């Protein structure tokens, strides 16, 4: 019983600094709840490790403790990207502790960040996109809704969360653009093509009012019961549509976003413009799509050239 009490006190001592840090992130940095949850889970795991090894405060943490911790999570089977996230979280946390004079020496100064493994996201070819867009039965109300939804996703590169949260106030179809709130509540303006505008207008004028039962429902895309369509609903419908299109790829709503960006770059769009359209804070995030384009170019060459 005494051992449990000691563990509790150690854990609580560490936890106080974490709570102070999370409050700082929320109040002064204004981070979103999802980001705070990610930091909280990461630091909770780190605290558990320190408690297990009888480390009672952050003064005792040096770079060797950090290295042992990173080794332990690597051996537990965590991915390379997860370890990179752990290093990033700890780096920011200990910087905060140093600035607040909670510690004298920052143990993260001599810890290198592992290089991020780049995994090229899967994209659809233009032919596959055309086949997918042709799947919804436009003789039905839900078919028209699905066609308008798919056209909008591919025309704008919206994240699925941005798509399902669109309201009528976000649509400026007469001027050819929509507005959305992306990550970090950053607003951006996105142009939308004529084909997607036409299908949105058909859906809004002929279908949506028939589905919606509550006049207070403001979301553009609704389900069969007239309520906001969920991310899970979009994902479930898309899986069925991909099978119907005969596409043998692991397609998610994000695949259409990847395809949107890749096709723009392949057709000569400037990287900075694509960055702006996608709402990426850093252009290095957008550069992944240039690698996709080069890989596809190489694949086409290998298939087409007689001596490839």
Q: Catalytic positions, please?
A: 159, 183, 254, 257, 280, 289
Tokens of 243: 């099978």
| Helix 126-133 / helix 141-156 crossing angle, nearest 10 deg | 160
> Which residues, in sequence order, are bridge partners of residue 172?
177
Check: CB of residue 181 under 8 Å from CB of residue 165.
Answer: yes
Q: For the chain, how far is it from start to end, CA to CA, in angstroms?
A: 72
Tell me how many degrees the CA angle 279-282-283 measures, rounded to the nearest 5: 90
63-75 helix and 80-99 helix, angle to the nearest 10 degrees: 150
Encoded tokens for 143: 């078919």
3-state secondary structure of 31: coil
Report the C-alpha gap between 159 and 56 in whole angstroms.
Answer: 43
CB 80 within 8 A of CB 86: no
Q: What is the DSSP string of 252-293?
A: -HHHHHHHHHHHHHHTT--HHHHHHHHT-SSHHHHTHHHHHH
How many Cβ atoms sit within 10 Å of the Cβ of residue 165?
17
């Amino acid at each position: 019983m005494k051992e449990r009490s000691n563990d509790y006190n150690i854990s609580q001592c560490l936890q106080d600094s974490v709570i102070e840090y999370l409050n700082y992130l929320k109040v002064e940095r204004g981070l979103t709840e999802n980001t705070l949850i990610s930091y909280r889970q990461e630091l909770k795991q780190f605290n558990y490790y320190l408690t297990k090894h009888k480390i009672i405060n952050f003064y005792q943490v040096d770079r060797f403790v950090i290295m042992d911790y990173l080794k332990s999570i690597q051996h537990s089977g965590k991915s390379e990207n997860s370890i990179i996230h752990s290093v990033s979280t700890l780096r920011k946390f200990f910087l905060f502790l140093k600035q607040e004079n909670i510690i004298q020496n920052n143990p993260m100064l001599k810890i290198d960040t592992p290089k991020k493994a780049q995994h090229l996201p899967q994209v659809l070819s233009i032919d596959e996109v055309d086949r997918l867009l042709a799947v919804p039965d436009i003789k039905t109300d839900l078919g028209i809704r699905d066609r308008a939804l798919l056209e909008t996703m591919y025309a704008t590169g919206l994240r699925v969360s941005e798509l399902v949260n669109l309201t009528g106030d976000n649509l400026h179809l007469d001027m050819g653009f929509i507005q959305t709130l992306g990550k970090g509540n950053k607003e951006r303006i996105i142009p939308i093509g004529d084909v997607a505008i036409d299908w949105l207008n058909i859906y809004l004028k002929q279908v949506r009012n028939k589905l919606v039962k509550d006049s207070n429902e403001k979301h553009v895309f609704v389900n069969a019961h007239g309520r906001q369509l969920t991310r899970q609903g979009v994902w479930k419908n898309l899986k069925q549509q991909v099978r119907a299109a005969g596409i043998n790829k692991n397609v998610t709503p994000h695949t259409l976003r990847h395809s949107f960006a890749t096709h723009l770059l392949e057709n000569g769009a400037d990287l900075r413009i694509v960055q702006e359209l996608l709402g990426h804070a850093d252009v290095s995030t957008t550069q992944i799509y240039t690698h996709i384009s080069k890989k596809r170019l190489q694949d086409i060459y290998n298939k087409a050239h007689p001596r490839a």
